[in-house]
Amino acid sequence: MAAAPHRGRRYVALCLLLAGFGLILFRLVNLQVLQAAELAVKADRQHQKTVALEGARGAITDRHGKVLAINMEVPSVFGVPTALDSPSAVAQHLSPVLHVRASKLEKKLRQDRSFVWLARKLDPEQGRRLEALSVEGIGVVMEGRRFYPKGPLLSHVLGFAGMDSQGLEGVERRYDSDLHGEKRIMVLQRDALGRTVFPKGLAEENPAPGHNLTLTVDEVIQYIAEKELEEEVNRRHAKGGTLIVMDPRTGGILAMAVSPRFDPNAVGALSPDRWRNRALTDAYEPGSTMKAVLAAAALEEKVMVPGTMVFGEHGAMPVAGTVIHDHDRMGWVSFAEVIQKSSNIGAAKAGMALGDHRLYRYLQAFGFGQPTEIDLPGEATGLLKSPKDWGRRSLASISIGQEIGVTAIQMVTAIAAIANSGVLMKPYVVSEIRDAKGQTLKRILPHVRRRVISPETARTLTTILEGVVTNGTGGKAAIPGFRVAGKTGTAQKIDPRTGAYSSTQFVGSFVGYVPAEDPRLAMIVVIDEPHGEAWGGVVAAPVFRRVGEQALNYLGVSSFEPVKIAMAAGTRSGRTER
Amino acid sequence: MKSMTSLTILAGLLLVFTFVWERVDVVRVGYQVERLKVQKTALERERDELQVKFSKLTSPERIARVATDKLGLVPPQPGQVVVVHPGPERPGTAEPAAGEVRLAKNYLAGRAK
């Protein structure tokens, strides 16, 4: 009789136990089978962290490996407004470190959002100060920022990269696909404390950095060019200036300076006009520098020889209802003197002797009216009309550098062809692309475009162009101890209001090469709208001399004057001296 | 029979411990790798910072400014720098290797006296 209640209790206990196990089993099936997929995703979200990583942007160096642009990890600061108790106090705290007004920060921190950028790509020092502050609800992440350690040096060639490391101008833009690093989404495993254990699979590597570029530019010659150009532009109160130094044997650009300069580290406040590389984008009427190209064509076609006598018409010659003037009233002069004294009338006559089609053919052969295909963005083609569109005066005008638009890079490439025994080279600024480990991926070699004149014509023309400097309008380009060949140019600008030639706005230029017997440097100097005297021989030729002298000295090019130097150990002869 | 069972249990336990130890060690090495990665990143950052600083300090613009303003140096005047391409040591001997000697002219003049 007494066993019945015990048995009843046992049954109750058994039922409860079974119900308990049943519940557990039900929960287990629910979690492991019914909700398995959903929960697995949830767990992954908690254990894994997905981050978008980008390899560092490649560096840009000059021909000797001097760093001109480099990427650096710098701090960016964000806020979590929903996690802040007192946005105003936090804003006050951060303001002196971020150099941003407290009211502006507070406005951002009061937004109803869970993430807001407060300042991006700060200096490393600011990052360290922020870490020391350790403010709740404020976080720091590292982002790649582009640095141009030399400031404005070579800025128009380098260009710059944007906030998200994309190339926007110059080499940065042209070679963006080589420079930017690999972008990759990575999954990291986190523990219960949120610490990263290791990426999924230890073998997973960080995204590859971008490739490094080596330029043909020499930072010292670039510095010399920028310094001298800037000084002359300031001295003449000019609107601007352009200077290009090229190795005529290869077409490699040694320096490309544009004034005024800009600092690519701080482009935010500048207008696009400031960072435009006017050496490539702006066409101008070259004026008398075009006579060097005209002479090349006339000599090559044998319509002129240096001794051919040309009548100077005593300074005025009617052409197609207009009059072409010379600044000096000349009678009979040789063709060499026409170039050396920069006679417009003599040049117009040489052009007429050539004829429109032959002149046009040579202008095209020298690369006018078409891009030089330099490896920089934004190059203009210039303006060269087809002979069928020429007016009655066009042949004479083009012969003296009017009715034709050229860029500085076209003109220096053309003069470099004369320096290079008549062979036109393609200009370029990047000579090598290397990966992050230093392995060469691509070497850009000098590229011959075509032969435009014979070596004999180039030699004859060089002698004539040397006369420009020794006896003609380019005397101020003379470099003691070196033979300089070149041509001056002074062109009136078109007044945009009247559409006619301005009597006050000029472009003064000088284009040439040195040493004339074995050219190492081809150079163009263009001074835009100088005040006062605007002759190319006055404003541009002295810059050519100063840059040429320092660059030759830096390159260790010896002059033509042979000297004997007595050394302590004996007597040696050297081909040197200035 | 008893000892066989004990041995089997022992081997099983050993296997379980080895497995647990291996898992724990993998996690430990994972943390170590992560610490080293953080250290590597910090060192790379420092290297980049130093490279930027070095580039700024060796900029020709800065060197020229320091040379003129602080040290009172002046650019060489025309004719003051001489580039010498050495000729043969003595008549009849072979041409020396291509090279050049750059000397300040004043120094050269002093040596020649």
DSSP of A114-138: S-EEEE-S--HHHHHHHHHH--TTE
C-alpha span between B77 and A381 (Å, rounded):
41
Strands A67-79 and A60-61 turn out to be antiparallel
Q: How confident is the model at residue A561 (pLDDT cuts 50, 70, 90)?
A: low
Using an 8 Å CB-CB cutoff, list chain B residues near A71. 48
Give the pLDDT score at A162.
86
A277-320 pLDDT tens trace: 999 999 999 999 999 999 999 999 999 999 999 999 998 999 98
Q: Do residues A426 and A449 make contact, with C-beta atoms less than 8 angstroms apart? A: yes
pLDDT of A489 over the 90 cut: yes
Span A85-90, average pLDDT: 85
Q: Which residues of chain B have pLDDT under 70?
A: 1, 78-79, 85-113
Q: Is the pLDDT higher at A12 or at A164?
A: A12
Least confident of A31-35, A557-561, B11-15: A557-561
Query: What percentage of chain A exceeds 90 in pLDDT?
Result: 62
Interface TM-score (ipTM) > 0.85: no
3-state SS class at A427? coil
User: Is A397 one of the catalytic residues?
Assistant: no
DSSP result, A485-515: EEEEEEEEEE-TTTSSEEEEEEEEEEEEEES
Q: How confident is the model at residue A82 (pLDDT cuts 50, 70, 90)?
A: confident
Ordered strands of the A521-528 beta sheet: A253-259, A240-246, A521-528, A501-514, A485-494
Span A322-336, average pLDDT: 91
The H-assigned helical ranges of A212-333 are: 219-235, 272-275, 278-281, 290-300
| Residue B69 Cα, gap to closest chain A Cα (Å) | 16
Give the pLDDT score at A158.
96
Using an 8 Å CB-CB cutoff, list chain B residues near A576. 82-85
A340-378 pLDDT tens trace: 999 999 999 999 999 999 999 999 999 999 999 999 999
| Residue A66 Cα, gap to closest chain B Cα (Å) | 7
Q: Do residues A244 and A216 make contact, with C-beta atoms less than 8 angstroms apart? A: no
Span A224-252, average pLDDT: 96
Q: How confident is the model at residue A259 (pLDDT cuts 50, 70, 90)?
A: very high
Span A67-75, average pLDDT: 90
Least confident of A137-146, A349-358, A429-438, A451-460: A137-146
Give the pLDDT score at B95.
45
Give the pLDDT score at A76.
84
Summary mean pLDDT of chain A? 88
Span A236-249, average pLDDT: 96
pLDDT of A575 over the 70 cut: no
- Residue B30 and residue A574: Cβ atoms within 8 Å? no
Task: For residue B34, give the nearest of A72, A198, A558 by CB distance.
Answer: A198
The pTM assigned to this predicted structure is 0.81
- Residue B55 and residue A73: Cβ atoms within 8 Å? no
Q: Do residues A478 and A528 make contact, with C-beta atoms less than 8 angstroms apart? A: no
A249 touches chain B (CB under 8 A): no
A538-550 pLDDT tens trace: 999 999 999 999 9
Residues in chain A: 578
C-alpha span between A173 and A152 (Å, rounded):
17
Q: Do residues A264 and A429 make contact, with C-beta atoms less than 8 angstroms apart? A: no
SS3 per-residue string spanning A178-214: HHCCCEEEEEEEECCCCCEEEECCCCCCCCCCCCEEE
* Residue in B closest to A61 by C-alpha: B55
C-alpha span between A317 and A294 (Å, rounded):
19
Q: How confident is the model at residue A332 (pLDDT cuts 50, 70, 90)?
A: very high
Distance of CA A164 to the CA centre of its chain: 19
Give the pLDDT score at A195.
63
Q: Do residues A557 and A532 make contact, with C-beta atoms less than 8 angstroms apart? A: no
Helix A290-300 / helix A356-365 crossing angle, nearest 10 deg:
110
C-alpha span between A448 and A251 (Å, rounded):
9
Across chain B, the runs of DSSP E, i.e. the strands, are: 81-84, 101-104
Candidates A155, A259, A288, A343; catalytic one: A288
> Would you call the peptide bond into A260 cis, given omega within 30 degrees of 0 as the criterion?
yes
Give the pLDDT score at B63.
94
